[in-house]
Amino acid sequence: MKFDIIWQIFHQVFNIVVLLVLCGALIYFFILMIKALKKYTNAKPVREEKAETAKSLGEIIKKYRMECKMTQEFVAETLGVSRQAVSKWESGVSDPSTSNLIALAKLLGVAPEDLLKETQR
């Protein structure tokens, strides 16, 4: 008889402990979710400089060509390539060869390294 009473008390205490552990785990889960949501909603936007994508070599070539008020035809004739080749460089379809890049940089009055550095910004 005493054993049955002790067993019932033990069983009830065990059920209460399990219930408390489950409730604690659920509360902890909700706290973690709230912290994650707060962090997500309070996240600052990426700085604009970093968000900008690097310019392509073609965009840089076109920028310098336009600043020098040169046409694609003039650049092509000076370098000994076709106008379509210059157009492909500027549109990013292809890149100039190393020798053409050096000649192009000289024509535009820029160091070849500076053309390439601008692509990495």
- Tens of pLDDT, residue by residue over 28-54, are 999 999 999 888 887 766 555 444 455
Indicate whether 37 and 69 sit together in one domain.
no
CA distance 27 to 6: 31
How many structural domains is the chain composed of? 2
More confidently predicted of 119 and 20? 20
**Tokens 């692509």 found at:** 119
Q: Give pTM, 2 decimals.
A: 0.55
- The CATH number of residue 107's host domain is 1.10.260.40
Any domain includes 16: yes
Give the pLDDT confidence score for residue 65 in this predicted structure.
95
Domain that holds residue 66: 54-119
Indicate whether 71 and 114 sit together in one domain.
yes
Q: What's the mean per-residue pLDDT of the chain?
A: 88
Give the pLDDT confidence score for residue 50 in this predicted structure.
46
